[in-house]
Amino acid sequence: MKIVILDGHGANPGDLSWEGFATLGELKIYPRTAASELIARAQGAEVLLTNKVFLLQPELEQLPELRYIGVLATGYNVVDIETCRQRQIAVTNIPGYSSHSVCQMTFALILGLTHQLLHHNRLVKDLSWSRSAEPCLIDRPLIELAGRTLGLIGFGQIAREVARVAQAFGMNVQVFTAHPENYRNDWPTIHFVSLEKLVASSDIISLHCPLNDQTQGLVDSRFLGQMKAGALLINTGRGLLVDEATVAKALHDGQLAGYAADVLGVEPPPEDHPLLSAPNALLTPHIAWGTVAARQRLITLALENLQAFAGGEVKNRIV
């Protein structure tokens, strides 16, 4: 079978191997594929692997040989699932491959805000510390995590890892999820609460819910207005979970104490993106998932998914 990897650079910029896929058929790898290049590159392929390249109805209708789409990520909003169902095109994803890495990044962002790491690093490098009369230069409040309340919106694999680490820090953890009954028995020390209570009573809120019609723009002016004074907001989910212009304004106004995100609504962001100039905004360029270990798991699981499909089995199958 003909296998085409449409945008392999993200998962494998050259430090890992696609060799296993070549054993299953004719393999073609593109580091990136623009929308204008998609049909020509995908023509005749039975298998497409994609991370960010959209495969929607207009494109799918032009690819009659296509039988399998492997999404090189957990979220699969880049694929028109209904059209694939109608066309009997199998779609798989990679759940859980980055849970440890994204959890680690979540706490990197939390610690970055609570210890004002970028600010204090600048004090060292601009020689403010060298010129200080004090041996310890602390000019902003620092926040201890022990005893603070962390609110998690969503309770998938990543959020559950975050909950474990938060409790190791001595934090109180509360969760809003659509189905708390699925978790209460296994998580007796976690408080499952309404969204309104979580927003109003958390010192730090971390977003771990999927992006869909119900969650897009979840963090709006009303949400921000209900948060505790001095509370922090963390986003390692999706940029469009928040109204970014409203978040930027809340940072400028001092309504929100800090926002840390590894994701933005448009990636890469335009140079005039409102969060780029907002105070107390700690932003990273969508790197949480990208550790070598996580990317290797992704490639391994993607290969196992395709091997299962070739053998007539179902593994991590969405459709």
The set of catalytic residues is 238, 267, 286
Angstrom distance (rounded) from CA 162 to CA 283:
19
Residue whose C-alpha is closest to residue 227's, from 219, 217, 215, 235 = 219
Amino acid at 24: L
Q: How many CB atoms lie within 10 A of CB 195?
A: 14
Place of tokens 């975050």: 162
Q: How many CB atoms lie within 10 A of CB 111?
A: 14
**Sheet containing 68-71: which strands, arranged edge to edge?**
26-29, 2-5, 47-50, 68-71, 90-92
Amino acid at 70: G
What does the DSSP 8-state code read for residue 270? P
**Which CA distances in Å does 92 have to 34, 118, 316?**
22, 39, 5
Residue 183 has phi, psi (to 5 degrees) of: -125, -20
Q: Is the peptide bond before 268 cis (omega within 30 degrees of 0)?
A: yes
Q: What are the structure tokens assigned to 157, written together? A: 């694999």
Place of tokens 């995908």: 42
Angstrom distance (rounded) from CA 79 to CA 2:
19
The torsion region of residue 241 among left (phi > 0), alpha (psi -120 to 50) and beta comes to alpha
Q: How many CB atoms lie within 10 A of CB 213?
A: 6
